[in-house]
Structure 1
Amino acid sequence: MCCLMVALCPPAEAEPAPSSREVKKARQSARERSKELGAATAELVTAQSQLDGLAAEVERLVEAYNGELVRLRQAEGLYAQASARLAAADAEVERVRQEVALLATESYGGQTPMAPVIGMIFDQGGSEGALHRAGVLAQLWGERAAILGRMDDAQKVAAILRTQAANAYAAQQAASERAETAKSAAEAAVARQQEETRELRARTEVLRHEVDKARSRAKLLARQRAESLSGGLVSGGSAMGDVAANWALTQLGKPYVWAAAGPETYDCSGLTMRAWEKVGVRLDHWTGTQWTAGPHVPLEQLKRGDLLFFGHVKDDPSTIHHVGIYVGDGQMVHAPQTGDVVRVASIWRGDLVGATRPR
């Protein structure tokens, strides 16, 4: 029953060619979008200027952080030196303290400088013994005074170095805090810069896509109307090239997907392969062999349907990274990149390396 009903249904009529009013309306829409882009571009210029100023501030803050890191390393070095000197001074204090402790122990055990004096009082050995004991007494008092003097000196030096070490530690802590503050400021500025850059780029891309879509639709409608009025063939290209170019224009708005070749999604060489397939020309799904699929055409002799290639070195197909199909007026249809759609764009890009006319 379904098959019968389909068979009885009259064939669908071809869609009528766009009217001049539709073409005019599409062109007006493109102009309005262009005006919006112009106004938005002025805003973007201001935003970019502010972004440039922010970038300069970011660089200043980053360099301020770098400076604080240098000062922190210097403060850490000074603190390490002060700590080492203090450790040596404390070791000297401890060594002298042990000598004083030994002196105190001897005094407590009766071995004091006064023992020779007592012996001298009760000495019956005459003046020679007395002189000997007097010499011993002087030596003992001198050694004791020297030990106590070294103890006093060592403690004074240690106190001075302890103050220096404390000051160095305080300086290190202050430098560390300044470095952390500078780091936080730099990180916040960088994050703000990145966010504003993303927003600026996103706004720009949205506006450009809107304008491209409007221009693409206007060009498509104008082309379809011109074809209708001229009997289906637009001057300026070969019959096969026109068919390929016209078919490519019917794919506008379909998403770019890597390695896709239709019918709903395309990558660049997938789109051109399918376009020339419509006229019986088989191309590989690769820009490398599409580049050699026909004679190379001078850019001033381009015709509709010619393939335009973008890369770096003409003699090395592996450097060609993109292809589009020429549709006239310096424009091409192409599948640009991930996140984009099939659209019309200018052929004049810095990486344009040449054109091929498939056969």
Structure 2
Amino acid sequence: MGMGKRGLLAAAVTVVCAITVLAAPGTAFASMVRTPDPTPSTSATSNALPAPPPSRDLEQVREKLDGLYHDAAVATDAYNAAEEQTKAQSAQIAELTKRIAEGRQKLKTLKDQAGASARAQYRNGGMPPTAQFLLSGDPQQVVDGAGTVLNGQRATSKLITEMSRTQRQLRQYADEASAQWQKLEANRKAKAAAKKEIKQRIAGAEKLQSQLEKKERERLARLERQAAQRAQTAWLGSGVLKEVSGKASAQDRKAVAFATAQLGKPYIWGAEGPDSFDCSGLTSQAWAKAGHPIPRTSQEQWKQLPHVPVEDMRPGDLIIYFADATHVAMYIGDGRIIHAPRPGRTVTVAGAGTMPILGVVRPDA
């Protein structure tokens, strides 16, 4: 049975009025984004650096400097993580904005179609096709009109369904965009806080070193070298290197070649080339150039990449240092690494055992 005149008119009015105005996604502020685990607090380290006493113990100064630079490394990892998340969220917002624009255009087209249907009924004296069909005295018109009415009913139903679906999609896109804006703002705050922390720790280390006389700075440099040599000797003395026999893959060799080509370039926190690097900037770029992208930060490299035993490592593997995974270097064989050590230093070759090893990861496992 066909629809009554009043029922079809009501449907047409529903189509015309089913247009809603989509509110633009709002911007809200969320709490600070979680940094990748593990991320220890650096608040315990005091920014105030009392002047060393005349009979200063340079070993204590060395330990203080190590602590300051370690705290700067923790903050650098937090900064890099927030930077990566900001990039991802900005890309998602751009994609959602595109979808919202396309959805609005589609909704406008549907609205125009609904309006055209309503105007056609008005030109026919407000009599819908169903009524015209039933009141016709022409048998052929009755036959022809039956298909027209059925098609019209289907088209109207499809139009209403499509408009409803488009409106739901637009609301979903708007909600997703709003959530991404909140995360973006949180990560911007996280970056700003990490940047402030980095600058404070580096400034503290530079201030402490500036208080040393030339002879003391030279002696401090010797103490640093001696500490590294003791650690490397102890590591080699454990016999671990005797078990290391892994051979580099083609991708390993490409990564090592890239890292080697960066020797002498300065460490700059947050940098990933081409003129300067931080520790994870160097390793992530080396593996990207080898055709195997890996996470940007040392903590995420430790968290996401496959772990291998130290005795099974091979050139190209990444060694993660310290309990909080805040430093990373590339193993190049013979007990050596290439890494970007810390502010004020350059990309260099060092002993793999000169720092506390957390573990080894293999990007192309």
Verify same fold: TM over 0.5.
Answer: no
Q: TM-score, normalised by structure 1?
A: 0.40
Higher relative contact order at CA 8 Å, sep ≥6: structure 1 or structure 2? 2
